[in-house]
Chains A and B, each alone.
Chain A
Amino acid sequence: MAERKVMSLPEAVERFVQDGDTVYCGYLMLPMALVMELVRQRKRHLELVGASLVYQATMLVLAGCADRVRTGYIQGALRPGSITERMADGRLRFEDYSNQGIALMLMAGALGIPFIPTRSFLGTDYLAPENQHHTGHYPGYRKWQEMESPFDGQKAVLLPALRPDVTIMHAQRADEEGNIQWWGHKGDARWAFWAARRLIVTVEEIVPSDAVRSDPDRTAVPASRVAAVVHCPYGAHPSGVAGFYDFDYRFVGEVLAPALDSDAAFAAFRGEWIDACPTHDAYLERVKARYGPDALDVLKAEPHRPLLPVDYGFAPWFNLPVREDIP
């Protein structure tokens, strides 16, 4: 019998995330239920990677789960505060790349090649030797190498491949076998699905395999890449999911963003919204308790379905005689 992939949030995190792991933690459709479960299970010394790390990463750093980031964008550093203080005093180590850089590094990891060239970073101070070894630098890690192409002499910057130990993501749907389907713009997440050693995905819906296999263009990765699938409606809240619900600006503006300004504010947020909520459903109930029973309904997306259906049809028989003459 095939391995059981559908499981609970706590089981998925307990089995497939280890202290010290390098974790790709999502983009756009953020795996917020998984992030909060990492906090509940008190994971430690995680390295967070991704093109642009936003509040999901700030939460994991302030919760003491993560102490390193490799990324093109640290949203928590936009304003001076708890994240910039950690960057300055060494509690949070960091390697600055860019969106394209991280996407390429994940792609190289997914392809199983050691590095990948780009023309990004040329002409910038990122390439200055002194900036390879700054305060937040990870010991023993080489950031990039400028070189001339051995074929035509063009300048290029080589970036090292990036293979997360685990990728956590949220997507629209999956089947019970673990095939993941998604749609909409994808940021750098496509290659994080392929690059990760272990993959945990929360989904809005579990659908029959027939449905998945009837529209295979929408599949992000086949089941063999997936370690765990968790059925978790609103698992990306307060971020949005195309076709399901939109970003919860009110919650982020009034509850989440102020909680990320200082350690004290985060401790209060964590107590109320994570530790006091043993499940994601309990967290969603708390959102409704604060903003009213329709708090999630008002986020619901208007339908925008394709105007024409897609047809993958083929002819079951070729216009050739079936060879019954060959034994």
Chain B
Amino acid sequence: MSGARPEDYTLAEMMCIAAARLLPSQGNALAGLGPPILSGVLAKVLYAPDLTFSTEVGAIDWRPDPATATRAPVGIHDELLNVNVALTSDMIESLGTYLMGGNVDVGLLTGAQVDRFGNLNVLCLGPYEQPARRFAGTGGNTEIAGLSGAVVILMPQEPRRFVERCDFITSAGYISGPGARRRAGLRPQGPNYVVSTMGVYQYDTPDGGDSGSCELVLSGVFPNVDPEVVQALVPWPLKLADRIDLVPPPTVEEIRWLRRLDPYRYYLTPGRY
């Protein structure tokens, strides 16, 4: 257990905790690589024991045992996902029958960039033809974003990560605005959220992308964060919700669990965000 005091929590920890609080108490969650895994497992341990947790390698409905858990899965493929799990399957089942077949209520994702309409980029910065920076690629990000019933995105609040339009949309959110998902052949989706290291965003659409502006709307801020500071960090005129919630700081229990689930600081290495 870390010796750090809960009141010394990091913004990355706050992001994971705030995302965990947003997850539905039941239904099926599918978590992509990175902090979404930690957030999903934290939610299962503390708030949503009935929410099923799965990863795309094929582990469907894996359950951490709060009494004996030594870690959250490290990556989507950790061998511990083979124990206390309902089904060990493959990607045709996890990303095909399970996800594309319509069984996933909420996808948990991160990425290199998120844009005004909640699209993600995990492929490259600059033009694909001659990128300024190339990344590993999508893995299952594309299908989890496009095909989940709703999506929660964890994204550090940095100017290079929040952009007007992704340099390359690898993963569809509301694409270019109202109606774009249906035109592309995708179903409506939501309620979606983006959780950053400063606050929580919802989207301006009442019906999963058919109407409204479909833009990100800042709806909550973390302790000591001024909404105008967030606005200044985003390159488009960011809309603010009529009422902006003050997201409560982490509880002692939340911080203790989060640190216990990441004993090697795989997800929460200081300075990573």
Contacts and interface: CB of A to CB of B under 8 A. Distances in A.
Contact of B59 (A78, A122, A156, A185): A185
A122 B171 CA distance: 9
A226 interface: no
Q: Describe B's contact surface by its main secondary structure.
A: loop
A184 B142 contact: no
Nearest to A153: B185
A98 B139 contact: yes
Interface in B151-207: 166, 168-172, 175, 180-181, 184-186
B215 interface: no
Nearest to B91: A103
Given A87-B134, A186-B58, A72 B140 contact: yes
B83 interface: yes
B175 A123 contact: yes
Contact of A73 (B55, B89, B139, B166): B139
B172 A122 contact: yes
A128 to B, nearest CB: 9
Contacts of B88: 183-186
A52 B166 CA distance: 23
A229 B120 CA distance: 42
Interface string A181-193: 0011111111100
A75 B33 CA distance: 12
Contact of A126 (B55, B89, B170): B170
B100 interface: yes
B138 A187 contact: no
A71 B59 CA distance: 21
Contacts of B130: 88, 135
Given A124-B146, A190-B90, A135 B129 contact: yes
B111 to A, nearest CB: 12
A98 B136 contact: no
Contacts of B24: none
Contacts of A177: none
B168 A80 contact: no
B142 A119 contact: no
A134 interface: yes
Contacts of B89: 185-186
Contacts, number: 165
Contact of B169 (A123, A185, A187): A123
A279 interface: no
Interface stretch (B74-82, B219-227, B248-256): B74-82
Nearest to A148: B185
6 contacts: A80-B133, A100-B100, A122-B184, A130-B129, A185-B58, A185-B82
A108 to B, nearest CB: 11
Contacts of A187: 57-58, 77, 90-91
A45 to B, nearest CB: 22
Interface of A: 27-28, 51-52, 71-78, 80, 84, 87-88, 96, 98-101, 103-104, 107, 118-126, 130-131, 134-135, 154-156, 183-191, 240, 242, 246-247, 249, 301, 304
Given A100-B96, A131-B128, A88 B91 contact: no
A320 to B, nearest CB: 37
A123 B92 contact: no
B50 interface: no
Contacts of B90: 103, 185-191
Interface in B114-129: 123, 128-129
Nearest to A242: B82
B146 A74 contact: no
Interface residues of B, number: 51
A304 B99 CA distance: 28
Interface in B216-266: 264
B147 interface: yes
Interface in B21-78: 55-59, 77-78
A155 B58 CA distance: 26
Nearest to A304: B83
Nearest to B59: A185
A88 B171 contact: no
Given A73-B139, A104-B96, A184-B88, 5 more contacts: A96-B137, A122-B146, A130-B129, A185-B57, A186-B88
B95 interface: yes
A8 B55 CA distance: 35
B95 A73 contact: no
A156 B186 CA distance: 10
Nearest to B181: A123
A66 B155 CA distance: 35
Nearest to B123: A96
A101 B144 CA distance: 12
A305 B264 CA distance: 27
A189 B186 CA distance: 28
